[in-house]
Amino acid sequence: MMHYLRALLVLPLTLSLSANALAQVAFPTRPINMVVGFAPGGGTDTTARIIAKKLGENLGHPVIVENRAGAGGTIAADLVAKASPDGYTILLAAVGSIAVAPHQIAKLPYDPLHDLAPITMAVVFANVLVVNSAVPAQSVADYVKLANAKPGTMSYGTSGIGGAGHLAGELFKIMAHADIRHVPYKGGGPAMSDLLGGQVPSVFASAPSAVPQVKAGRIRALATTGATRSASFPDVPTIAESGYPGYEATNWYAYMAPGKTPKAIIDRLNMELVKVLNTPEVRQQLLAQGMEPQPGTSEELAKYVQREYTTWGKVVKAAGIKAE
């Protein structure tokens, strides 16, 4: 009897270990969907496509980038939070849907701290304040002067309400006492299109969407939003350097899976994504877009998300940012 009871006690552990080992060996056996919460052409989409290509090559199965734009990335986050926790649907999340939306949307259909499982940080980067070439501002000081000279006329586009660009713009508005108005889009791509077309005079943009246009001379970069200068714009000052010391608003994209995804699958995805993010060719492509790869453990990402959740919650409250 004792041998039988001992066997029963050991069996669950054995089955658990076998299941984990099986998951590591068998996963993946089919294509993986990498969900992005913004339209094609923006920073999240560009980053996802660079990583997805190499990840698919390494895994031997296609990694399909799926754009589910709208509501500042929360539509995509909700889709992944409710997806089957089998590792075949993952999210390239941005700060807005994870650390901001919970503080501005009373009935958010998912809890980012519980319904999504951290995999790894992907990239961290600063945004950049850019203006249409027809706007006469050559500096941040010029921009603020133009905005305040004609109240209500200077607007800035972003990838959506509560996103990193919006937070950067509102923090700037507060610190610079600038009369600027937010215009949200369903991604950085549409915002950049309207900036090029003159429908909006300025944008707090991600580096991937801004770099090609700045280099082509179609738009002008006035300042970046990080604590130090961006590698993509070494000659462009930070907002802090431009008369507003202490200003800093960085962006990040991180990989997450449905909350109940088995740890063995999270670990496999982490291993493969970290490998891709450390690949020289991928790092070079991301750095060329102004993105700094910062892969790490799922535990490190969980702690980072918790800090960002707390930090941006305070900014949302102070700026009175509301969902529309």
CA 89, CA 81: separation in Å to the nearest integer?
A: 9
Pairing type for strands 89-94 and 250-258 reads antiparallel
Residues 219 and 148 in one domain: yes
Residues 140 and 151 in one domain: yes
Residues 121 and 165 in one domain: no
Q: Specify if 55 maps to a domain.
A: yes
Residues 149 and 103 in one domain: no
Residues ≥6 apart with Cβ < 8 Å to 235: none
**Residue 207's domain is classified under what CATH number?**
3.40.190.10
Total domains present in the chain: 2
Tokens linked to 261: 């995804």
Q: Which domain holds residue 148?
A: 126-224
Q: Specify if 239 maps to a domain.
A: no
Cis preceding-peptide flag for 151 (omega within 30 of 0) = no
**Residue 263's domain is classified under what CATH number?**
3.40.190.150
Q: How many CB atoms lie within 10 A of CB 111?
A: 11
Q: Specify if 233 maps to a domain.
A: no
Question: Residue 158: beta bridge partners?
Answer: 184
- Answer with the one of 178, 209, 224 that is the final residue of a domain: 224
Residues 130 and 114 in one domain: no
- Answer with the one of 165, 189, 224 that is the final residue of a domain: 224
Residues 147 and 119 in one domain: no
Gap between the terminal Cα atoms of the chain: 65
Q: Concatenated DSSP letters for 242-294?
A: TT-TT---EEEEEEEEETT--HHHHHHHHHHHHHHHTSHHHHHHHHHTT-EE-
Instruction: Look at residue 25 in the predicted model and tell me its pLDDT.
Output: 52
Q: Specify if 230 maps to a domain.
A: no
Q: Specify if 2 maps to a domain.
A: no
Residues 215 and 131 in one domain: yes
Q: Specify if 36 maps to a domain.
A: yes
Tokens linked to 149: 């000279």
Instruction: Look at residue 7 in the predicted model and tell me its pLDDT.
Output: 44
Residue 33's H or E segment, with its range, is: strand 32-36
Backbone angles phi, psi at 98, to 5 degrees: -105, -45
The pLDDT tens digits along the chain (324 residues) read: 444 444 444 445 444 444 444 444 589 999 999 999 999 988 899 999 999 999 999 999 999 999 999 888 999 999 999 999 999 999 999 999 999 999 999 899 999 999 999 999 999 999 999 999 999 999 999 999 999 999 999 999 998 888 889 989 998 999 999 999 999 998 899 999 999 999 999 999 988 889 899 999 999 999 999 989 988 899 999 999 999 999 988 889 999 999 999 999 999 999 999 999 999 999 999 998 888 999 999 999 999 999 999 988 988 888 788 776
Residues 120 and 147 in one domain: no
Q: Specify if 174 maps to a domain.
A: yes
Q: Concatenated DSSP letters for 79-145?
A: HHHTS-SSSSEEEEEEHIIIIIHHHH-TT-SS-TTTSEEEEEEEEEEE-EEEEETTS---SHHHHHH
Residues 141 and 217 in one domain: yes
Question: Residue 90: beta bridge partners?
Answer: 34
Instruction: Look at residue 5 in the predicted model and tell me its pLDDT.
Output: 43
Instruction: Look at residue 324 in the predicted model and tell me its pLDDT.
Output: 63
Residues 285 and 150 in one domain: no
Instruction: Look at residue 278 in the predicted model and tell me its pLDDT.
Output: 98
Q: Specify if 4 maps to a domain.
A: no
- Note the pTM of the prediction, 2 decimals: 0.79
Residues 109 and 134 in one domain: no
Residues ≥6 apart with Cβ < 8 Å to 118: 254, 255, 256, 298, 299, 301, 302, 305
Sheet holding 63-67, edge to edge: 63-67, 32-36, 89-94, 250-258, 116-126, 292-293
Residues 99 and 166 in one domain: no
Residues ≥6 apart with Cβ < 8 Å to 306: 113
Instruction: Look at residue 132 in the predicted model and tell me its pLDDT.
Output: 96
